[in-house]
Amino acid sequence: MTAGRTARGDTATLVVGVDIGNSTTEACVAELGVDGPRYLGGALAPTSGVKGTAENVPGVVKVVHEALSAAGRSADELATVLVNEATPVISGLAMETITETIITESTMIGHNPDTPGGAGLGVGTTVAFAELADCPPGEPVVCVVGAGVDFEDAAAGIDAAVARGVAVTGAVVRADDANLIVNRLSTPIPVVDEVTLVEKVPLGMPAAVEVAEPGRTVRTLSNSYGIATLFELTPEQTRMVAPVARALVGNRSAVVVRTPHGDIADRRIPAGTLTLIGEHSTLSVGVDAGAEEIMATLRRVAPLSDATGESGTHVGGMLAAVRDAMTETLADAPDTHDSPDAHDAPDARTGGQDVRIQDILAVDTFVPQHVTGALAGEFALENAVALAAMVRTSRGPMEALAEQIRAALGTDVVVGGVEADMAVLGALTTPGTERPVAILDLGGGSTDAALAMPGGDVTSVHLAGAGDLVTKLIDSELGLENRELAEDIKRHPLAKSESFFHVRMEDGTARFFDEPLPADAFARVVVLGEEGMRPIPTRHSLEKIRQVRRSAKHKVFVVNAVRALERVAPGGNLREIGFVVVLGGSALDFEIPDLIAEAVAGSGIVCGTGNVRGSQGPRNAVATGLVAEHAAGPR
Amino acid sequence: MTAGRTARGDTATLVVGVDIGNSTTEACVAELGVDGPRYLGGALAPTSGVKGTAENVPGVVKVVHEALSAAGRSADELATVLVNEATPVISGLAMETITETIITESTMIGHNPDTPGGAGLGVGTTVAFAELADCPPGEPVVCVVGAGVDFEDAAAGIDAAVARGVAVTGAVVRADDANLIVNRLSTPIPVVDEVTLVEKVPLGMPAAVEVAEPGRTVRTLSNSYGIATLFELTPEQTRMVAPVARALVGNRSAVVVRTPHGDIADRRIPAGTLTLIGEHSTLSVGVDAGAEEIMATLRRVAPLSDATGESGTHVGGMLAAVRDAMTETLADAPDTHDSPDAHDAPDARTGGQDVRIQDILAVDTFVPQHVTGALAGEFALENAVALAAMVRTSRGPMEALAEQIRAALGTDVVVGGVEADMAVLGALTTPGTERPVAILDLGGGSTDAALAMPGGDVTSVHLAGAGDLVTKLIDSELGLENRELAEDIKRHPLAKSESFFHVRMEDGTARFFDEPLPADAFARVVVLGEEGMRPIPTRHSLEKIRQVRRSAKHKVFVVNAVRALERVAPGGNLREIGFVVVLGGSALDFEIPDLIAEAVAGSGIVCGTGNVRGSQGPRNAVATGLVAEHAAGPR
Amino acid sequence: MSVADRRAERARRQPPAVVLRHLGEPGTVMRDLCAGLEEEGVPVLLETSEPATAESRPAQAGAVAMAFAAAQASTLGVGIGVDAAAVCVHHAKRPAASPVLTADLTQARWCGHNAARLVVGLPFKQRPGTTGERMEESWPHS
Amino acid sequence: MSVADRRAERARRQPPAVVLRHLGEPGTVMRDLCAGLEEEGVPVLLETSEPATAESRPAQAGAVAMAFAAAQASTLGVGIGVDAAAVCVHHAKRPAASPVLTADLTQARWCGHNAARLVVGLPFKQRPGTTGERMEESWPHS
Ligand SMILES: Nc1ncnc2c1ncn2[C@@H]1O[C@H](COP(=O)(O)OP(=O)(O)O)[C@@H](O)[C@H]1O
Ligand SMILES: Nc1ncnc2c1ncn2[C@@H]1O[C@H](COP(=O)(O)OP(=O)(O)O)[C@@H](O)[C@H]1O
Ligand SMILES: [Mg+2]
Ligand SMILES: [Mg+2]
């Protein structure tokens, strides 16, 4: 290290480039000599406070010191700190559930107990177990066994009724007793058990109980004409019962009760409307129209100047919150209006209350919700729309911040060039890249892209929706209600603990352990996080969790990558882009860069994760770009 | 039974309706009395010979006798046998592989041995194990260990070289010895083993070996810029290496060798062209353009009058074979030209050599193929296009056939009404249905649909592609080369035998067995067929096989159901169809009817599997319709 | 060969089963345990332990030790021990002192279910009285 | 307690391992077996059987009986027996006379791999000399 310094002579000056990101502040130390910058190292730390505000100072001081000490240099050798423009970005997420499933008159039971009993189909009038003894012979009945009835008594009671000539064709049971009962009957019947609200099953009504063989699903009750056959329904009645059949598709066991007005409804919940104000036109779209319609409306009004959501809805609240947060940030900044950034859209004005939503990403998702009126705690996957919105100023209150960093570090602080330009400069230190190059900066709140053409022109775009939205989708689609676990699932592969001594990885390989695994992980899906295996407390299969994880990444990042590249590419033509360099925290993900590379592979693009300075991976591009720009001298 | 006969008096006549299908011949016995038909039973047997030819007689005789004996009636009570029109349908399937992966100069190894060794990345010049002792210290090398080298010797040799200062950074090994070697090294290195053609690894070239932690995938060699960093590539060289990186995505271990002209190419194989002759225009399309393009071209020329395939290609051969088979069938039929059927498209002329292709279904698929030039037996999933084509006459040589049936059974034989009308009449015996009703007859070779409007008008359509294509897709996508196993996989759910005493079903439930399961099923995916568990001799995961199975069903039947319904619906609007009744052999499938119901659910249609006469399920519609039509008397 | 050894030998010739060892006469606790196993479809083999060996140890250790021994004797590697105060489910491959689960006698039914689930590799049922986990099943919507 | 019993007791206190019982000195057969297990990452415990017991039976039955006993002693339920002519892999849960697999001594390495795969639930490797199964892996195309 000392040799290096001496070789360059005393003319070398020590600089640190600092990139204040929304989530992460990164630093890059370099020595500037006659033959360009010599990079000595870097550091990174969580950003303190909202990007672009005075709160950032502690984070900046921390990374500068860490970077210097990692490079073996002391603070008093430092000549200049270069800071990026740090334009504040505020993003928000909201979710609206747009469907609701309601069962009326306890028409059906569509849950999947682990151990239903018997196999086949039984049809008859529902009779409470206590009344079974009073049933006249001949009549086919379905027996409803409430709480507190012992399985031996239940079996004996049913067998006695059958001996008297009562055709007991099936049973619905409160306890987890189906096989215990069936095993004790002289003739097995289909039994659906673990029906928690069994006391609500309507009595004296025609009903059908179906249980399929293990590994199979019901065939009759999931078929509208099957139900029509059993209950001799008219075409009109069959039309009414069709939603019941559809809800039962895929279940191993089911009960359908024929009540006068029984129904199952898939209601669409009217969600709020979203008003998208374009430069040339304004259009409104109902959130319940779904993501595709919202995004199509967005394209129709593009470029977007602002958006508002109906007040009293989640969307309205979210857009207002994003706007308020930005207003508050800017209120702290006396110098908001200096030097508007030529690279940004002209609508991104930041004066006082004049904060405008710059982009919106709508994503179709689903949320598992309890079915209203269900008798056995059934869930339905209700449709929902998740929205990400973003506000970004053209330039933050940088001078005040620079002044405070200057005071804290006691060195010269220079506010560097345009962030997108810096990111491109940093990205181009990745081996194997050249202009035309596009960067995709996949952060937590926003997906940013910039394209640098051979001439040096840089076009950039900032889109709503990134890593935090992926985490939120994983959390809600799996019904975890645990964002931190969702973040772990996002970042790490899954496994299933198959015995006390081995787990099976999601790629099918097995791994043996010398020490017995904890009993509470047994037969569970676990996420292989940094702190070892973490059981996921749901009953979703490994494949299901994997598919939710990958589709969330696809819905956010593949969609945004294509949107962003189409916006920066000349004439929207991706073939004009030679290289795509993926950067940012979400580029560290183990599958997001591959998903993006696959999506753009058709366009003849070389796409990969950045490797800034040949060593930093997808991190440190802006910090490195600041140094490179500074080293090149004033343009 | 006797009571029933007496009650109806002696006026009741006994009839049997017989439907000669492509695969299955079905019969329905009924007694016609004053108050309509009284159905007594039915039977079914495989169709003997090509539908509509004299070969069918034995099959017809068999089902008539079986149906009568099932109903407890004797042949001499039989008044009339009603036969459907039995228009011959000939269908064919073909497949063209349209991509090919070729590795030149042994640039890479992208296989996934179960047990690679070490973890991390090693870069160096490739050196044969025998030459390791001659390596000068300092130079980083990747050691290539050929066949016959013992793992202890390999480890000792590497350790000795390291002790001399040679930086051995990784190894490529012939035997399954990676962990054995790594466990014996003083410093672990990444080792890729089971490289069958290890002797072809180019020596003296820069190479990189990467092994990921269990459950993870390589990150550097699957990233173009990662490879560019390791080998200090120019942007132009990086562009060349991008396909290597893409091929390595998802692998746990990988080797990349940097050779002067090393490359991996995804070549598109020029497949033949298909010429689609419409009534108004003729268009050609390359088979390698893919299914979407072929189907779009088909829509552009619709209605189709004929199609030809470039001779010398699979497609050309298949279309010619279909045509020839039909020509041969018709050659046996002197009475081909009598009474052309008004319901059929006018282009379906059947004179002599004038046989025309009536419909084509193209489906995108993939075939696992050995990668040319691969060193470790790697497979690539090559793209392919599967095609189904169909020829159908407007009316078969029925009189000759009827005469022979008459002779064989000694009863009156009546050739019944139009097949589609009969199917609708039969389908309407399903409880809960009324006009407007559409039937979807899912057979082996063709998907037929008919719509009956309240007025009685019936529109019908016959499309290429059905159950046999699904079986073929499953067979080829899984690389089974066993159609019978593929048929089993199509029809039955999967399970995995997880121990000697239990299997896990594809729905996640477990099933315990008292008797130990056979050792050769251990840890295998099995199909739960009629004859018990049958191991599937591949290494595909249960999820993968399930996904191939379901997507094959989707690609054929959901696509064809929507195509067919759009063609018969007034103005192509599915909302005009009230009820859809799914019929035919493939309607017995445990998931196809659900897939179709889900696809049309948005259009407010009641869709379900037919239940002919409230008891026959999706079978026997045409046979029942023949009886119903006959009972209603001449129209 | 000792009595215990002969019993293990006998168990090996039996059809595969979970082994249940208990003190004294089978009562409702045993009935609940067997019911849990039966509902899950896994066979069980009942054996009475000599009170002498078990009483010389503290209550829970008794159940744990019995369960571990039962697991060794089980062809399925799963054993259940019941003493005067506790039920224990054990697995032959675990360390003797670290059973799969222990519970008081009122939770016998739950123990029976989980002993069976240990055999077939299903996640354990939630302990009675604890909050249920999310999403037992769900219907897709469209 | 007999020698065999004490050995079983000892094995239980050991870390989990496949138990390998053989006659006489460990040779290349044993080395191959252990190599197969080591490559798959599953520990093995070597035990020498008294020739007396084994020699009184026919060759293969010797390996099978040794393997079954070894499986009983293994905390993982998997045992290997080697006599003068054969290698046998057995599982504690299987009937004694129906081993998982037997092979001649030249296939010891393959037996070692599969004993390990039995523990972690991976499909067995193809027997050397039989035709390979299709599709070890495949790359997606686009
Ligand atoms: N190892 C990782 N794998 C996947 N995602 C990651 C990883 N590390 C960070 N992230 C994600 O990166 C996002 C933050 O990216 P970052 O670039 O630090 O944000 P910003 O650009 O806003 O400063 C978060 O959504 C976080 O979940
Ligand atoms: N149980 C079943 N599950 C799924 N498919 C079935 C079943 N039984 C028959 N098939 C399929 O039905 C097709 C034959 O249908 P069928 O109606 O008999 O033909 P056709 O109408 O040509 O006479 C074949 O592709 C066969 O695989
Ligand atoms: Mg139950
Ligand atoms: Mg290996």
Q: What pLDDT digit, counting tens, does each position of A33-77 carry?
A: 888 899 999 999 999 988 888 899 999 999 999 999 999 999 999
Closest listed ligand to the CA of A253 = 3
Three-state SS sequence of A538-579: ECCCHHHHHHHHHHHHHHHHHHHHHHHHHHHCHHHCHHHCCE
Q: CB of A22 closer than 6 A to ligand 1?
A: yes
Paired with A462 in beta bridges are A448
User: Cα(B77)–Cα(B79) distance, rounded to whole angstroms?
Assistant: 6
The answer to the question of residue D15 being in a domain is: yes
pLDDT in tens, D55-98: 444 444 599 999 999 998 887 889 999 999 999 999 988 889 99
**Three-class DSSP category at A491:** helix
Distance CA(B65)–CA(B379), nearest Å, equals 53
> Per-residue confidence at A393, pLDDT binned at 50, 70, 90?
confident
Measure the CA–CA gap between A326 and A320, rounded to whole angstroms: 10
* Kind and range of the H or E run holding B321: helix B314-331
**Hey, are the CB atoms on B502 and C76 less than 8 Å from each other?**
no
Q: What is the pLDDT of residues B462-484, one digit of tens each?
A: 999 999 999 999 999 999 999 99
Q: How far apart are CA B423 and CA B85, in angstroms?
A: 12
Residue D11 has pLDDT above 50, yes or no: no
pLDDT interval class at A336 (50, 70, 90): very low
Contact B39, B627 (CB under 8 A): yes
- Measured between alpha carbons, how far is B248 from B223 in angstroms, rounded to an integer? 9
CB–CB contact C142 B601 (8 Å)? yes
Chain D 19-38, residues with CB within 8 Å of chain A CB atoms:
none
Contact assessment for residue B228 and residue B241, using Cβ atoms and an 8 Å cutoff: yes
Structure tokens at B138: 């300092």
Residue D39 is classified by DSSP as H
Residues in B closer than 8 angstroms to A219, CB to CB, are 590, 609
- Pick B345 or B263 by higher pLDDT: B263
pLDDT digits (tens, 9 = 90+) for B455-465: 889 999 999 99
Q: Spell out the alpha helix ranges (H) of B338-397.
A: none
Could you give the CA distance from residue D93 to residue B516 in angstroms, rounded to a whole number? Answer: 8
Distance from CA of C131 to the nearest CA of B (A): 23
D78 falls within a domain: yes
Q: Which ligand is nearest to the CA of A171?
A: 3
Cα–Cα distance measured from residue A500 to residue C124, given in angstroms and rounded to the nearest whole number: 13
Instruction: Say if ligand 1 is within 6 A of residue A21 CB.
Output: yes
Closest CA to A503 of A529, A527, A531, A487: A527
- d(C-alpha B598, C-alpha B583), whole Å: 16
Contacts of A232 in chain B (CB under 8 A): 431
Q: How many domains does chain D have?
A: 1
Is C43 an interface residue toward B (CB < 8 Å)?
yes
Using DSSP, state whether A235 is helix, strand or coil: helix
Residues A85-94 pLDDT 10s: 878 888 889 9
Mean pLDDT of B359-375: 94
A2, pLDDT greater than 70: no
Q: What is the pLDDT of residues C43-70, one digit of tens each?
A: 999 988 765 444 444 444 599 999 999 9
pLDDT for res A90: 86
Nearest to A498 among D42, D76, D121 (CB): D121
The arithmetic mean of pLDDT across residues B233-258, rounded, is 95
Question: For residues A492 and A513, what is the distance between their CA atoms, to the nearest angstrom?
Answer: 19
As a whole number of angstroms, the distance between CA A332 and CA A247 comes to 54
Integer Cα distance of A63 and A113 in angstroms? 55
Q: What is the Cα–Cα distance from A376 to A574, expressed in whole angstroms?
A: 52
Q: Which residue of D has its CA nearest to A508?
A: D122
Q: Do C89 and C76 meet the contact criterion of CB atoms below 8 Å apart?
A: no
Residue of A498, A514, A601 lying closest to D15 (CB–CB): A514
Q: Which residues of D touch A507 (CB under 8 A)?
A: none
- Give a yes or no: residue D131 inside a domain: no
Cα(B624) to centroid of ligand 2, in Å? 18
- Residue C130 belongs to a domain: no
User: Which ligand gives the minimal distance to the CA of A179?
Assistant: 3
Query: Is this complex scored with an ipTM above 0.85?
Result: yes
Query: What is the largest distance, in Å, between two alpha-carbon atoms of chain D?
Result: 66
Helices and strands (H, E) in chain D, number of each type: 5, 6
**Nearest residue to B385 (alpha-carbon basis) of B550, B541, B264, B270:** B270
Collapsing DSSP states into helix, strand and coil, what is residue B595? helix
Structure tokens at B470: 């699904």
Q: What is the CATH number of the domain that holds C40?
A: 3.40.50.10150
- Residue B204 pLDDT level (bands cut at 50, 70, 90): very high
∠ CA A368-A374-A379, rounded to 5° = 15
Instruction: For ligand 1, pick from A20, A23, A472 the residue to mutate: most ligand atoms within 8 Å of CB.
Output: A23
Residue D42 and residue A504: Cβ atoms within 8 Å?
no
pLDDT value of residue A4: 38
Residues of C in contact with B511 (CB under 8 A): 41, 120
- How far apart, in Å, are the Cα atoms of A99 and each of A240, A362, A365, A455, B570? 19, 16, 11, 51, 31
Q: Which two tokens stand for residue B486?
A: 């593929």
What residue ranges line ligand 2, CB within 6 angstroms? Answer: B 21-24, 443-445, 467-468, 487, 491, 584-586, 588-589
Number of Cβ atoms within 10 Å of the Cβ of B507: 18
Nearest residue in A to D16, CA atom: A514
Distance separating alpha carbons of residues B505 and A495, to the nearest angstrom: 18
Residue from the list A112, A178, A500 with its beta carbon closest to the beta carbon of C137: A112
Best mutation target, A176, A246, A517, to test chain C (most C CBs within 10 A): A176
CA-nearest residue to A599 within chain D is D142
How far apart CA A206 and CA A220 sit, in angstroms, is 15
To the nearest 10 degrees (0 to 180), the angle between helices A467-477 and A483-491 is: 110
The confidence score (pLDDT) of residue B183 equals: 97
Distance between CA B160 and CA B143 in Å, rounded?
Answer: 13
Band (pLDDT 50/70/90 cuts) for residue C7 is: very low
Torsion, Cα B401 B405 B410 B412, to 10 degrees, reads -60
Which residue in the set D2, D12, D93 is minimally distant from C75, CB to CB? D93
Query: What is the distance between the alpha carbons of residues A175 and D136, in angstroms, rounded to a whole number?
Result: 46
pLDDT class for C19, splitting at 50, 70, 90?
very high
Cα–Cα distance list, B410 to A151, A217, B86 (Å):
61, 46, 20
Residue ranges of A 485-544 with Cβ closer than 8 A to chain D: 498-499, 501-502, 504, 509-512, 514-516
**Cα(D121)–Cα(A502) distance, integer angstroms:** 9
Ligand with the closest atom to the CA of B589: 2
In a domain, C141, yes or no: no
Nearest C-alpha to atom 5 of ligand 2 is from which residue? B586
Q: What is the pLDDT of residue B396?
A: 60
Calpha distance D108→D94 (Å, rounded)? 21
Q: Which of A27, A28, A20, A17 is nearest to A50 (CA)?
A: A20
Mind telling me how many Å the CA of B510 is from chain C's nearest CA? 6
**All domains in chain B, ordered by first residue:** 1-86+396-419 (3.30.420.40), 91-98+269-392 (3.90.470.30), 105-265 (3.50.30.70)
- In a domain, residue D113? The reply is yes
Average pLDDT over residues B145-151: 97
* Residue of D98, D122, D139 for testing the chain B interface, max B β-carbons within 10 Å: D139
Contact in structure between D65 and D72 (CB atoms under 8 Å):
no
Residue at C75 is within a domain:
yes
Q: How far apart are CA A257 and CA A230, in angstroms?
A: 11
- Give me the residue from C98, C123, C141 closest to A524, CB to CB: C123
| Best mean pLDDT range from A101-105, B8-12, B251-255 | B251-255
Q: Provide CB contacts within 8 A for A634, sequence distance 6+.
A: none
Mean pLDDT of all residues in B305-309: 94
| Atom 13 in ligand 2: residue holding the nearest Cα | B444
Ligand 1 contacts CB of residue A52 (under 6 A): no
What would the pLDDT profile of B519-567 be if each residue is shown by its tens digit?
Answer: 888 999 999 988 888 999 998 999 999 999 999 999 999 999 999 999 9
pLDDT tops 50 at residue B344: no
- Token pair of B65 as six digits: 């006798």
Would you state the structure tokens that stand for residue A625, as one six-digit string?
């770009």
The residue segments making up the domain with residue D85 are: 3-120
| Residue D95 belongs to some domain of the structure | yes
- Give dist(CA B27, CA B42) in Å, integer: 5
Q: What is the pLDDT of residues A304-329, one digit of tens each?
A: 999 999 988 888 988 998 888 888 87
What residues pair up with A167 in beta bridges, in sequence order? Answer: A140
Evaluate if residue A342 carries a pLDDT over 70. Answer: no
Q: Could you tell me if A172 and A109 are in contact, meaning their C-beta atoms sit under 8 angstroms apart?
A: yes
C-beta separation of A201 from A106 below 8 A: yes
Strand order across the A606-609 sheet: A458-464, A446-452, A437-442, A579-583, A606-609
